Structure 1
Amino acid sequence: MSAEVISTLMIITVGEFSVGIIGNAFIVLVNFMNWMKSKKIASIDLILTSLAISRICLMCIIMLDCFMLVLDPDVYETGKQMRIVDFFWTLTNHLSIWFATCLSIFYFLKIANFFHPLFLWMKWRIERAIPGILLVCFAFSVFISLPTAENLDDDFRLCVKGKWKRNLTLRCRVNKAQYASSKVNLNLFTLFPFSVSLVSFLLLILSLRRHSRRMQLNATGCRDPSTDAHMGAMKALISFLLLFIAYYLSFLIATSSYFMPETELAVLIGELIALIYPTSHSFILILGNKKLRQASLRVLCEVAHTLKRRNV
């Protein structure tokens, strides 16, 4: 792969990383400052803060992997360092997905209108249960990551930079089935939270449909606060689902690069696409949250005012 292609991909990756860090750090900073002022934090702010922190860590791990691949490929020949990277990548990956799923469930329980006893009980308990749910998600992610880091096949990392070696190529061919099986099992764990978010989205559509029919029967119109809340939550959920699908496919590209001729290029492209998910979704969440949106507008006004004064 030419140096120009590598440089271009790295510039784009660094740009995505920088924008993503700014967006997620903004969420953390705003919620932390509000927490310090009021001495308490709302459940939605706790979820958003946890999600933003996990995504900051995830993006840092992805960037570290990119730089090691390009600048210090020899580290791929030692299993210990790569197992550490793979452990934290798996951990932050699962954390960000589970925390996003918690956000989907929270939106569903707080906004949807159903009268089933189980739903009403969960709706009443969700505020107090959020800290415990987040801790369970963290513990579950660690539980998944530990055996994954222990069992990851180092041949994948060796093949990224060593396909030209005859004996190594033979080892890669022999262990393809074992490697593919471990990666499929790893990816299957992320399908469950994705399915939960998808079910939450579908139930929100059902709730909105019932609510719209009720409003039409009462002849009061459809654009009430509840309808707006439904639409806002659905926009956040559908953006998460679409971006997660793109992220999941990019993760498959990066891991399946083991079977591709241009392994290094496949890894870089996969990780470049993977950064779109934590970067874009953070700004979608900022625009969809009234407190964060107002804070961002204040920051933009201050920046514009400062630039105007300097130009004058």
Structure 2
Amino acid sequence: MSDEVDNTLMIIAAGEFSVGILGNAFIGLVNCMDWMKNRKIASVDLILTSLAISRICLLCIIIFDSFTLVLYPDVYSTGQQMRILDFFWTLTNHLNVWFAACLSIFYFLKIANFFHPFFLWMKWRIDRVIPRILLVCLVLSVVISLPVTENWNDDFRRCIKVKRKTNLTLRCRENKDQYVSIKVCLNLLTLVPLSVSLISFFLLILSLWRHTRQMQLSATGFRDASIEAHMGAMKAVISFLLLFLAYYLSFLVVTFSYFIPKSDLAVIVSELIALIYPSSHSFILILGNTKLRQAFLSMLCHLYTPGGYYSDYT
């Protein structure tokens, strides 16, 4: 790639990274300040803070890979260094989708209107078990990511450059096939929490439809707080699903680029697309959360009004 293309791509990546860091750091800072002030943290704030921290880590990994690929391409000349980055990217990737699934389940249990005994039991218990669920998600993500570290020293980039038929070529083919199988399985595992988010979304739609129908039967002609809560939760879930789909496709391109020679441009463009998900979704969550939205508006007023009063968002 030319220097002009490299510089342009790096500027875009740096901009997306900065926006994502600011948005996710804002979520974490506001919730941590509220935690310190009230000596306790709400379940939704704990989920949002965990999601923000995991996305900050994911942003750092993606931007590190982008700059390394452009500025220091020889760093990945050994399989060990590639596997280290692969492990942490896989770990943060699974953490993000599992934490987002937890958020979808939480919205569903708190907002949906069903009277099934099991649903009511889960609705009553969810606040108590959220910390344990998040811990299980962390442990599960680490366990899922461990297979990436197998064959720690395999040099895939050297394997790609081998053109003549040698014993090395055969070993490379076997190792690459094994690596592809592992990556495919790990990527398919993300479909589990993604399916949970989809189920939560469709159940929210069902709950909204039932609630709207009841209002029509009671001749109520205006939208109540329950409908507004349903709509807000559905916007958060569907925005996550759409953005994650674009991120997931980009992640697949980056994953299998190790086996495609001269694919650096495709990798960097894919990483730019991948950066959109952890960067933009944080602001969607901020605008959809009353406390975070008030704190964000107060901060803007403080920044653009010299000597302005920074109101308490709590």
What is the TM-score of this pair, normalised by structure 1?
0.92
**1:115 shift after superposition:** 1.0
Name the CA shift for 1:248/1:153 in 2 (closer, same or farther; >3 Å). Answer: farther
Equivalent residue for 2:139?
Answer: 139
Check the 8 A contact 2:20/2:278 in 1, yes or no. Answer: yes
Equivalent residue for 1:21?
Answer: 21
**1:184 shift after superposition:** 1.2
Name the CA shift for 1:258/1:88 in 2 (closer, same or farther; >3 Å). Answer: closer
Alpha-carbon distance in 2 for matches of 1:297, 1:97: 28
Equivalent residue for 1:227?
Answer: 227
* Partner-residue secondary structure (3-state), 2:83: helix
Q: Percent identity over the alignment?
A: 70
Matched AA of 1:218: S
Alpha-carbon distance in 1 for matches of 2:301, 2:134: 35
1:192 and 2:192 are equivalent in the alignment:
yes
- Deviations 1:154-182 (Å, cap 9, x if unpaired)? 444x26xx855646995798355444322
**1:149 shift after superposition:** 2.3
Matched AA of 2:216: Q
Matched AA of 1:282: S
* Partner-residue secondary structure (3-state), 1:262: coil
Equivalent residue for 1:277?
Answer: 277
Equivalent residue for 2:86?
Answer: 86
Matched AA of 2:75: V
Equivalent residue for 1:103?
Answer: 103
> Greater shift after overlay, 256-265 or 96-105?
256-265
- Deviations 1:216-261 (Å, cap 9, x if unpaired)? 1111235000000000000000000000100100001112224545
Equivalent residue for 1:118?
Answer: 118
Residue segments in structure 2 that go unaligned for 5+ positions in a row: 309-314
Check the 8 A contact 1:212/1:222 in 2, yes or no. Answer: no
Alpha-carbon distance in 1 for matches of 2:277, 2:76: 26
What are the within-5 Å matches in structure 2 for residues 110-259 of structure 1?
A: 110-151=110-151, 154-156=154-156, 158=157, 166=163, 174-175=173-174, 177-259=177-259
Matched AA of 2:85: V
**1:7 shift after superposition:** 1.4
Check the 8 A contact 2:80/2:154 in 1, yes or no. Answer: no
Matched AA of 1:174: R
**1:70 shift after superposition:** 1.4
Alpha-carbon distance in 1 for matches of 2:154, 2:243: 29
Matched AA of 1:82: M
Matched AA of 1:38: N
* Partner-residue secondary structure (3-state), 1:273: helix
Structure (1/2) with the larger helix percentage: 1
* Partner-residue secondary structure (3-state), 1:219: coil
User: In the comparison of the two structures, how many residue pairs are matched?
Assistant: 305
Name the CA shift for 1:267/1:152 in 2 (closer, same or farther; >3 Å). Answer: farther
**1:297 shift after superposition:** 0.3
Alpha-carbon distance in 1 for matches of 2:188, 2:302: 46
Check the 8 A contact 1:111/1:229 in 2, yes or no. Answer: yes
What is the TM-score of this pair, normalised by structure 2?
0.91
- Deviations 1:87-142 (Å, cap 9, x if unpaired)? 11111111111001100000000000111111111111001010000000001001
Check the 8 A contact 2:80/2:152 in 1, yes or no. Answer: no
Alpha-carbon distance in 1 for matches of 2:109, 2:58: 28
Check the 8 A contact 2:101/2:197 in 1, yes or no. Answer: yes
Residue segments in structure 1 that go unaligned for 5+ positions in a row: none
Alpha-carbon distance in 2 for matches of 1:183, 1:87: 11
Alpha-carbon distance in 1 for matches of 2:256, 2:47: 32
Equivalent residue for 2:268?
Answer: 268
Name the CA shift for 1:27/1:197 in 2 (closer, same or farther; >3 Å). Answer: same
* Partner-residue secondary structure (3-state), 1:275: helix
CA-based RMSD of the aligned residues comes to 2.2
Alpha-carbon distance in 2 for matches of 1:76, 1:122: 47
Name the CA shift for 1:4/1:166 in 2 (closer, same or farther; >3 Å). Answer: farther
Check the 8 A contact 2:250/2:271 in 1, yes or no. Answer: yes
Name the CA shift for 1:185/1:111 in 2 (closer, same or farther; >3 Å). Answer: same
> Greater shift after overlay, 257-266 or 195-204?
257-266
* Partner-residue secondary structure (3-state), 1:223: coil
